[in-house]
Amino acid sequence: MSSTPMTSRGLAPVWRALKKNRGALISFWFLVFLTTVAVFAPWLSPHSPTQVYTEHFRSPPVWMSGGSFEFFLGTDDLGRDLLSRLMYGARVSLAVGLMVVSLSLSVGLVLGVLAGYFGGRLDSLIMRLVDILMSLPSILLAIVIVAVLGPSLTNSVIAVSVVSLPNFIRIIRGAVMAEKMKSYVDATHGFGASHFRVAVLNILPNCMAPIIVQATLGFSDGILNVAALGFLGLGAQPPTPEWGAMLSDSRAYIESAWWLVTLPGLCILVVVLSFNILGDGLRDALDPKLKGRL
């Protein structure tokens, strides 16, 4: 499935492919910027995200009348600085995306390689599991899992990872199956290589292209779903500055304080959009066969 074996040259071809796509490149640099903000949030943010300023309930952003530079994007219903909370929110969301992708990728790798490499009964069993997971609406399954584990940010990450798992398994399985047909696999077996060696050291590195693409798109799915759970009150709990939870907290002020409703959602949209553009760009570049697939 992959046309470019990437192991020997590391990530250089990925970067070269990316450089040709302006949208993907802009998204990439934006995400680098956002990561920097997230990492250095304690030093960059003007206020603490949980500090309550009792004299500044829902004060508007600086460009509106009544706004001040002290609270650049205004304050929320408890008098906390919105800009600082959004910056810390970037921290939460990016960490969430990373955790969801790492969890579902690692489990997906094991199950996907097992299914794709050995086929047969094991494959049917794993794919049956995938079918079951996929015939439930993702958010519904995540909600049920969170209900079992109890609402918290960590549990919503676990729930969303379970929900994202089928995509990873399917893509890895497909890539491994396609690669397994090739003659170098038979040749390596001929040299007496073990199954583990062939599957992990020979086949897997050649399946990197679809995996990289799926991991990138997994970030956007993960961030979106965790934010949705946060919005439903099943994810991050107060006072954690998570964008989805911030949105649901400010729903009551939709008529009086539009910035509280608009800005956290805009952050979610921009981050999800960036990962989607980046993922699309990577797919077009690395995996021409998948071009245009959704």
Binding site for other proteins (CB under 8 A): 128-129, 131-132, 134-140, 143-145, 147-148, 150, 220, 224, 227-228, 231-232, 244, 247, 251, 254-255, 258, 261-262, 264-266, 268-269, 272-273, 276-277, 280, 291-294
Residue 197 or 284: which CB sits closer to other proteins?
284
- The CB-of-32 to other proteins minimum distance in angstroms stands at 19
Minimal distance, residue 144 CB to other proteins, in Å: 6
**Residue 4: CB minimum distance to other proteins, A:** 22
Query: Which of 88, 243 has the CB closer to other proteins?
Result: 243
Q: Which is closer to other proteins, CB of 52 or CB of 133?
A: 133
CA distances from 194 to 106, 120, 174, 186, 202 (A): 21, 19, 21, 12, 11
Residue closer to other proteins, measured from CB, 97 or 203: 97
Q: How far is the CB of 252 from other proteins (least distance, A)?
A: 11
Structure tokens at 8: 């020997």
In angstroms, what is the minimal distance from the CB of 145 to other proteins? 7
Per-residue CA distances from 283 to 17, 89, 99, 118, 182 (Å): 10, 28, 22, 27, 22
Of 145 and 212, which has the nearer Cβ to other proteins? Answer: 145
Q: Which is nearer to other proteins, 9 or 291 (CB)?
A: 291
Nearest approach, Cβ of 251 to other proteins (angstroms)? 7
